[in-house]
Amino acid sequence: MNLESMYQEIILDHYKNPHGRGLREPFDAESFQVNPTCGDEVTLRVALAGSTVGDVSYEGQGCSISQASTSVLTDLVTGRSVQDALSTMDAFVEMVQGRGQVEPDEDVLEDGVAFAGVAKYPARVKCALLGWMAFKDAVSRVEGVADR
Amino acid sequence: MTTTTAPLDVETIRKDFPILSRLVHGDKPLVYLDNAATSQKPRQVIDALVGYYEQHNANVHRGIHALAEEATALYEGARDRMARFINAPSRDEVIFTKNTSEAINLVARVLGEAGPDHRVGPGDEIVITEMEHHSNIVPWHQLAERTGATVRWFRITEEGRLDLSTLDSVITERTKIVSLTHVSNLLGTINPVDVVIRRAREVGALVLVDASQSAPHLPLDVAALGADFVAVTGHKMLGPTGIGVLWGRLPLLNELPPFLGGGEMIELVTMERSTYAAPPHKFEAGTPPIAQAVGLGAAVDYLTSVGMAAIAAHEHELTAYVIDRFAEVDGLTVIGPNTATDRVAEVSFSLEGIHPHDVGQILDEQGIAVRVGHHCARPAVVRFGIPATTRASFYLYNTRAEVDALVAGLDRVKKVFG
């Protein structure tokens, strides 16, 4: 029962058939994130087209949650404005850190709602956020470049 | 193990451990296979803790009232029990610490401040192994940073054994201290510490043996072992958290400087200077973990009444069964010796294509508690070219049926991720 709530078919699908995987050129910034407690890691690149997220590409290794979450991320942010992408990220973070108390909005999070069950497993929240942290970090680096 | 050892009455033993009868995730019986992280506690230990607080609580070694006398007798009685349990030649060689980490930190700290015979300084070498827990690595890195000494180490073979082919080149005249684990918490390997100790003796180096993973499972005789220090933690051997033991040879303990300063560890304090108590109190600054020591005393009483030889025999049989059953699981690779010989019932493994976190989570959903990750032994995990393992670790109360449950659980894992 609990099993189903954590390992949704959507998550397993993204894990087995990840979207957007592989590091691509050109890119504006890259971020490497690691979870020191389990060794999960992801390297993620973003290429912006003006204020829009043009491409997100990544490589990583780790558990199904960290890798599937990064796959879902690429669907949710590619082609969106940076502002929209970051507010989607906020909604995702709020959901998985919500201890099961936050009702996710499927219109905003799409496949991402499958990760609602992760919120009940505090040890796995970092796994679900690994790729998103890399995305946020990479975007902030691009903006830093743009400001110069 | 002796052939005269009677088999354990595991069903009766299990009744002593209240937690083993609880359910998890609704209706799943608990299958607790994370004993290398911490053991469960028998009713006898829990009762000792409650009884101490309900009937005897006072500070020790001070005050002349009835409770203070009782608390002191219980605390020092626990030291006597522990001394007997590890066959220490003297009770004064048994120092209570917080855990193994503190015990090792104690030695690493005082060796940097010791007199000329034992002081670790620039040009000296500290020898550890690649299979150490971080608690037997980091304090030595810190000592090396403080003193200018160098850390060297023995490697691990592909089979998960200590590679002692470099024995004479790693331990040399420059070696001041060798610190190694008796049993690897990642691999389950029982190390031939006698061989290492013999070599250390040839060059006049001290030896510390980390017995965290051996004292709970194998008879431990520090007099026969021949090391200079042995570190043990209570919570892995049925005792409470917050209590461990450092055993050290008395002449050494007399000679070495104190560790932490404070109450209890002094002889005389004036405003100008302090002089120090004799061991063991010299190394026990401040109010000690009294209830925890009492609980540990109850734990070693329990282990002694069951019999360490019988426990070791039971676990050896379980190990052989785990190794056999694991051989039937497609895609499973044992990380560590793939045999029951010279290893304990802690078995790390990887499952092809499935991350240990996912393995652990699906097992947990079935009520099976294992540990996943690098087990605070990252260099050893990296040595095998993987980021993490799943580890099932057994104790006196575990059964073959629980091994079967684990193997069935792994089938379920493979179905989810297959």
Of the candidates A2, A62, A64, the beta carbon closest to that of B25 is on A2
Q: Which of A38-42, A68-72, B235-239, B376-380 has the lowest mean pLDDT?
A: A38-42
Whether A124 sits inside 8 A of B357 (CB atoms) is yes
Contact B355 A62 (CB under 8 A): yes
**CA dist., res. B61 & res. B54, Å (int):** 19
Q: Do B387 and A37 touch (CB under 8 A)?
A: no
For B234-276, strand residue ranges (E) read: 244-248, 266-269, 274-276
Using pLDDT thresholds of 50, 70 and 90, give the confidence band for residue A105: confident
Q: Is the preceding omega at residue B7 within 30 degrees of 0, hence cis?
A: no
Residue-range domain boundaries for chain A: 3-143
In whole angstroms, give the CA distance from residue B145 to residue B148: 6
Q: What are φ and ψ of residue B2, in 5° steps? A: -75, 145
What's the Rg (C-alpha) of chain A?
14
Averages of pLDDT over runs of 10 residues in chain B (418 residues) are 70 98 96 98 98 97 91 98 98 98 98 96 98 98 98 98 98 98 98 98 98 98 98 98 98 97 93 96 97 98 98 98 98 97 98 93 96 91 91 98 98 92
- Interface contact flag, A7 B362, Cβ < 8 Å: yes
pLDDT at A4 over 70: no
Active site positions of B, annotated: 376
pLDDT for the residue A103 = 86
Residue B200 three-state SS: helix
Residue A146's pLDDT band (boundaries 50, 70, 90)?
low
Q: Report d(CA A118, CA B148) in Å as an integer.
A: 47
Residues of chain B in contact with residue A65, where contact means CB-CB under 8 angstroms, are: 357-358
Domains observed in chain B: 10-32+308-417 (3.90.1150.10), 46-304 (3.40.640.10)
Chain B interface, Cβ < 8 Å to A: 25-26, 355-358, 361-362, 365, 372-374, 381, 387-388, 416-417
Q: For residues B91 and B325, give the distance between their C-alpha atoms in angstroms, rounded to a whole number.
A: 44
Q: What pLDDT score does A5 carry?
A: 65
Query: Which candidate, B351, B386, B404, places its Cα nearest to that of B160?
Result: B386
Q: Say if the Cβ atoms of A39 and B388 lie within 8 Å.
A: yes
Global pTM exceeds 0.90: yes
- The closest CB to that of B355, out of A3, A6, A63, belongs to A63
Q: Which segments within B309-416 are labelled E, that is strand?
A: 332-335, 346-351, 368-369, 371-373, 389-393
Residue-wise pLDDT tens digits, A107-125? 889 889 899 888 888 888 9
Question: What residues are paired with B127 via a beta bridge?
Answer: B152, B178
Distance from CA of A39 to the nearest CA of B (A): 5
- Under the banding of pLDDT at 50, 70 and 90, the label for residue A1 is very low
The answer to whether the CB atoms of B26 and A121 lie below 8 A apart is no
pLDDT of residue A7: 82
The answer to whether A39 contacts B358, with C-beta atoms less than 8 Å apart, is no
β-pair partners for A53? A48
Min Cα separation A44/chain B (Å): 19
Beta-strand runs (E) in B184-265:
206-210, 229-233, 244-248
The shortest C-alpha distance from A38 to chain B (Å) reads 5
d(CA B214, CA B142): 25
Q: Which of A12, A15, A38, A115 to mutate to test the interface with B (most CBs of B within 10 A)?
A: A38
List helix spans (H) across B366-399: 378-383
Pick the closest to residue B245 from B190, B194, B296 (CA basis). Answer: B296
CATH number for the domain whose boundaries are A3-143: 3.90.1010.10
d(CA A141, CA B298): 58
Name the minimum distance, in Å, from the CA of B362 to any CA of chain A.
7
Looking at residue B316, its amino acid is: H
Mean pLDDT over each residue of chain A, to the nearest integer: 88
Q: In chain A, which residues touch B (CB < 8 A)?
A: 1-3, 6-7, 12, 15, 37-41, 61-65, 121, 124, 127
